C-alpha cells in the first residue's frame, strides 16, 4: 500500500478492538477501531473514531489532525488483520455522514486494484436488499468487505 500507516496497534486478543494514536497538528489523539457482530449472521460492523469519556467510539467528531489518509490506511490494515483471522466474516461499514460515505467510496475507487487483491468489495443497493460488486458510480449507503480466498 502506498500510504503510510500507524504501525503500532494495541488490540484485544480476538482483534475485535484496535487502538492507535493519531499524531498530527492537534497533537496525539487516541483512535479506536471496533468490529461488532450485527443481527445479520457472519456480518460484523466496523466503527472507528475517537474514544469518548465513556470509552465509546465517537465517529462524528472531526479531529482535523492532518492525517486522514494515514488513518484510513491504518483502518484498512486493521480490516486486513481481522479478516485474515476471520476469513468467513463480512465487514460492513458506512460513513457517519454522506460526506464520509462519499470519501470512503472515493478512497476505495482510487485504490480498487490493490484492495481487490486482498478483498471482495461490495456496495449495498439503494433499496437496501442486496450487495453488488463495488463500482465507482454506484450510489450506496454501505460497504461490505470479505477476505478474498486465495
Partner 1 sequence: MKKQSKIEDVVFGKKVTITIDEQLNQLKGKVLAPGKLARANKNLRKVTSLPK
Binding footprint of partner 1 on the chain (CB under 8 A): 1, 5, 7-14, 16-19, 32, 34, 36, 38-40, 42-43, 45, 47, 49, 55-57, 59, 73, 76-77, 80-81, 90, 92, 94, 96, 114, 118, 120, 122, 124, 127-133, 141-142, 144, 146
Longest dimension (CA), the chain: 42
Closest distance between partner 1 and the C-beta of residue 23, in Å?
16
Q: Return the C-alpha cell found at 23.
A: 499524531
Closest distance between partner 1 and the C-beta of residue 113, in Å?
13
Closest distance between partner 1 and the C-beta of residue 101, in Å?
11
Between the alpha carbon of residue 47 and those of residues 78, 127, 138, the distances in Å are 12, 22, 22
Q: Which residue shows C-alpha cell 460488486? A: 133
Residue (25 or 39) nearer to partner 1, CB: 39
What is residue 115's three-state secondary structure?
helix
Closest CA to 102 of 90, 110, 114: 110
Q: How many CB atoms lie within 10 A of CB 14?
A: 10
Residue (33 or 65) nearer to partner 1, CB: 33
Residue (56 or 64) nearer to partner 1, CB: 56
Amino acid at each position: 500500500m502506498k500510504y503510510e500507516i500507524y504501525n503500532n496497534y494495541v488490540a484485544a486478543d480476538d482483534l475485535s478492538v484496535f487502538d492507535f494514536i493519531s499524531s498530527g497538528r492537534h497533537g496525539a489523539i487516541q483512535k479506536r477501531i471496533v468490529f461488532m457482530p450485527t443481527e445479520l449472521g457472519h456480518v460484523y460492523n466496523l466503527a472507528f473514531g475517537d474514544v469518548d469519556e465513556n470509552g465509546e467510539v465517537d465517529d462524528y467528531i472531526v479531529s482535523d489532525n492532518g492525517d486522514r489518509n494515514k488513518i484510513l490506511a491504518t483502518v484498512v490494515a486493521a480490516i486486513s488483520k481481522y479478516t485474515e483471522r476471520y476469513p468467513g466474516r463480512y465487514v460492513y461499514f458506512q460513513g457517519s455522514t454522506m460526506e464520509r460515505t462519499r470519501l470512503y467510496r472515493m478512497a476505495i475507487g482510487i485504490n480498487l486494484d490493490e484492495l481487490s487483491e486482498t478483498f471482495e468489495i461490495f456496495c449495498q443497493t439503494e433499496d437496501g436488499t442486496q450487495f453488488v460488486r463495488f463500482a465507482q458510480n454506484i450510489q450506496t449507503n454501505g460497504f461490505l468487505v470479505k477476505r478474498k480466498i486465495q
